[in-house]
Amino acid sequence: MKAVLPDSKIPKRWYNILPDLPEPLAPPLDPETDEPMEPEKLLRIFAEELVKQEMSTERYIEIPRKVRELYAKIGRPTPLFRATNLEKALGTPARIYFKYEGATVTGSHKINTALAQAYYAKEQGIEKLITETGAGQWGTALSLAGALLGLKARVYMARASYAQKPYRKTIMRLYGAEVYPSPSERTEIGRRFLREDPNHPGGLGIAISEAIEDVLRDGNARYALGSVLNHVLMHQTVIGLEAMEQMREFEEPDVIIGCVGGGSNFAGLAYPFVKEVLEGKADYKFIAVEPRAAPTMTRGVYRYDFGDSGGYTPKMKMHTLGHTYYVPPIHAGGLRYHGLAPTLSVLINHGVVTPVAYHQNDVFRAAELFTRTEGIIPAPESAHAVKGAIGQAIRAKAEEREEVILFNLSGHGLLDLKGYEDYLDGKLEDYEPEHFPALGG
Ligand SMILES: *Cc1c(COP(=O)(O)O)cnc(C)c1O
């Protein structure tokens, strides 16, 4: 069972949660002065329209016609399935639905914001977008967006991932992007980390620092971020707006579930539904799932921190493990970022969204069951949402409740098979950190 929509149902506007938040967001701080960030300084890093959107309190922002056309080209609207075989295998009275963002041509939700960001940069006359990528999905999406909109793309890819997922690099190069393993010799911060360790495995925080340093020395370049920021989460709301329309063909969901790295795919599905709850029109439950190896939501502290390892980004008030927190490569499940979207942090503080964390072997086991029943191999990140949905369906069974569960399958895992191979061979260890820099540990 599935619901598909015609191109004409691609949403015409994105939903911006800022005016509906239970409390106003704390402003981003200038890393040099600790004073609220001057918008002019942000303009040197991001395309102008994105800076406006970042601070906008308009509830809806129109999606440019060109971006909607490109959404159709890359596979929007994406399908929404009912996981009937998984329900049977679990013997649960719950009904499980999932929105499948892996159906886009790049295989994840990241293209939804990549196209928007590239569009506004191109409109402004910018020539090049520079970014980082961890697992590779964001770099892939931005590379394609650059190709479709006529912009150069340069990607700093965490070195461990660059070595583990060589085909990601191939795809980015096919789309016309330059790809460098990070830390690299190309930047001051990259050289600093390489001096510490010539085989440094890199990480998202370091790659972000390299990308920003590179942008700051090239006036025709801007930086693009794949998660965390308000405008990025807003672009992703096409997921939830479509899903609302699609669930009308079935039934009202009770519980909405997503995995969380920086928060963008979760927000993309959930925020249009969160709006109804904040307005008192519905009482959906929201569950946000993360790995125990990077437990930002469940063990992080809520305070100002940098978005990158080098301390170049504005400081944001968010749940954080500390910007120097580092997840070792033994963790194969992705979602390694130390921080969290400020809007999602606020919703967690107010009890609107409930976070949970799982060990990676449990997550891969859930993905294996999903693969055998529904046929789709989830991205390891998305597998956290699968695990969350299965956990919820099992609880519904124990309590004999007919619950309606909707989760976001944010991407497929066809380029992440090394992690699955290690899981099948029993080589994955459940990693649980004891100390976090944000807690002084
Ligand atoms: C990047 C990514 C994530 C994590 O990032 P969010 O911003 O939290 O969505 C999750 N799933 C997939 C498939 C991704 O590519």
Per-residue pLDDT reduced to its tens digit, 95-109: 999 999 999 999 999
- pLDDT exceeds 70 at position 441: no
Angle, CA 100 vertex, CA 267 and CA 106 arms, to 5°: 90
Across the range 10-25, mean pLDDT stands at 98
Mean local confidence (pLDDT), 192-212: 95
Asked if 81 and 374 count as a contact pair (C-beta separation under 8 A), the reply is: yes
Closest residue CA from atom 13 of ligand 1:
411
Structural domains in the chain? 17-24+43-48+56-63+110-228 (3.40.50.1100), 75-107+231-435 (3.40.50.1100)
Per-residue tokens: 403:
């619950």
Tell me the per-residue pLDDT of 296-347, one tens digit each, with 9 for 90 and over: 999 999 999 999 998 999 999 999 999 999 888 888 888 999 999 999 999 9
Ligand 1 geometric centre to CA of 371 (Å): 19
Strand partners, 317: 304
Cross-sheet strand order for the sheet of 80-82:
2-3, 80-82, 95-100, 404-409, 255-259, 285-291, 353-358
When pLDDT is averaged across residues 226-231 and rounded to a whole number, the result is: 97
Task: Look at residues 165, 154, 156, 164 and name the one whose alpha carbon lies nearest to residue 183.
Answer: 156
101 class by beta-carbon count within 10 Å (0-12 exposed, 13-18 middle, 19+ buried): buried
Please check whether residue 419 is in contact with residue 333, taking contact to mean a CB–CB distance below 8 angstroms: yes
Tokens coding 182: 């990070």
Q: What average pLDDT does the structure give for the chain?
A: 96
Pick the residue whose CA is nearest to atom 4 on ligand 1. 261
Residue 3: its pLDDT value, please?
97
CA gap 392, 404 in Å, rounded: 10
How many percent of the chain have pLDDT more than 70? 100
Q: Work out which ligand 1 atom sits closest to the CA atom of 265.
A: 9
> Residue 83 is encoded by which pair of tokens?
């996981």
- pLDDT tier at 439, thresholds 50, 70, 90: confident
Ligand 1 binding pocket, CB closer than 6 Å: 108, 110, 137-138, 227, 259-266, 335, 379, 381-382, 410-411
Please calculate the CA angle 103-414-153 and round it to the nearest 5 degrees. 75
- Measured from the Cα of 261, ligand 1's closest atom is 8
In the predicted structure, residue 30 carries a pLDDT above the cut 70: yes
Extract the tokens encoding 293.
């190896």
The CA 310 to ligand 1 mean position distance, Å, reads 22
Mutate to test the pocket of ligand 1, among 113, 131, 137 (most ligand atoms within 8 A of CB): 137
Q: Which of 65, 156, 53 is nearest to 115 (CA)?
A: 65
DSSP class of residue 18 equals G
Reported pTM: 0.98
Residue pLDDT, tens place only, 344-394: 999 999 999 999 999 999 999 999 999 999 999 999 999 999 999 999 999
